[in-house]
Structure 1
Amino acid sequence: MTFSDSDIPALTALLRRAGEEEIMPRFAGIGGAEIKQKQAPWDVVTEADTAAEVHIAAALSERYPGALIVGEEAVADNPAIMNGLADAELAFVIDPIDGTFNFASGMPAFGTILAVVAGGACIAGMIHYPVSGETTIGVAGAGSRIVGENGAEQVARVSEPVPLDQMVGTVSWGFLDEPLRGRVAGAMSKIGMSFAFRCSAWEYRLAATGRVHFISAQNLMPWDHLAGVLIHAEAGGYTACLDGSPYRPGKTDGGLITTTDPESWALIRREIFGM
């Protein structure tokens, strides 16, 4: 099994087809019967999630026989699928609709995420936005870019560092346990402005293009973060887990901070997390 940069256009086209054929025809017209709750009222899955994942996984399996395919919805049915991710020769990690709550609510802040993992590292990441037709792409050692529906490209680059009181950012503090949850929620008043899309696909795009200065997550499911962390790093940014270790395939908890540079990472960890 081999993967190279020349495969990126085909994968981008695959995500676009899944968006056009499985996701957008169901957007806005989705009914309550097609929405199922998982672990919380804001954690839902729809018919579009399942159909898009099946579409993408089938195409990947045909193109890359023997590769490990890790899809969010497939893992929900069989968690053992994730066991080989950290050591896989070649793996693809799929989030068919990241931001399903938004999708099911008729809000356009959602995306399809695909990460390529080889030998314990994420080597490529793509986030496709079906509403606009754009795709954010990062390739290890080759930078990050946004490709428009018409093929036009622009380089993705993180913002310059700014003081804490000028930062725009988000922390998924709702997944933290007390007393850290209350401490982090209160400390967010120290920054310039906070936001929350509940959509990693859009959070990483905003961070990688310099629109926001940091994002932080507690649950580190690979379909939510592998592609985005790589895209952000290739755009010049910095990510580390809360304990300072790098984020790797197979790690699913412990929290992480994604920001412009190591100094800003340390500042957020100290002032927001009190660590």
Structure 2
Amino acid sequence: MWRLLPPTALLLLASAGTRAEGLPKAELSLSPEWDRLLEQDPVTLTCRGNRVEEDSFARWWHNGTLLPCQASSLSIAAARVNDSGEYRCRTNRSALSDPLRLQVVAAWLVLQARRWVVQTGDPIVMRCHSWKNLTVYRVQFFQNGRGKKFSRHNSEFHIPAATSEHNGSYFCRGMIQDRRNESSEAVQVIVLGVATPPAPPGKLAIVSLLPGLLFVLDTGLYLSVRRDLRRALKKGRSDTTTRSKSPEDKQEQ
């Protein structure tokens, strides 16, 4: 790991961070763009401010600790598990960037993706990456434990347009150099739904009046049925009384 700066330098840089309040945030990016790596993978983090002249200078933090690097790019030639964690940066005329998390895994295979949280309709690109880029055969991708794709040589899995059905836990499996059958750790993919557009004012008015109209119709139907039922009951009682009279009673009348 990098050697830490003395406490005096930390105080100076902390005060400089206070002066950066109100400035636009620095932008932090990765090359290659994968945020999950295997040990000994190379990766470069780049910090960019809002001015071209700042592209040669930046300050870096790893898990909240200030690093001695002051270049705009932070290169890791061979990643280690200790390199995992949260990275942030800023320039003289930019505020602290949003955090970027790296995860370095000690394994034979790792599942990589450009993004783990996507919007509905966005593409999803995943890759089954092997240690030291060893050749992988018979690659399989799984979602929630069920096979989604099999290929003898292709180690990438593309979903053109994400839907809610693509939410879930993914991992990959493959044969490394025809000798080792290995599986990656499972990683969660989240597909966010698209908000429903607001209804036009006319439709809103109809929708708001609908419960009242239904109540009026239900009430009218109830009263009508009740009235018809009373009439039927009265008629039934009258017919019953007539039929119950004996022939003698009828003659007397």
Q: TM-score range by the shorter chain?
A: under 0.3
Task: Report the TM-score, using the length of structure 1 for normalisation.
Answer: 0.23
Q: Which has the higher strand share?
A: 2
**Higher alpha-carbon Rg:** 2
Report which of the two has the higher share of helix.
Answer: 1
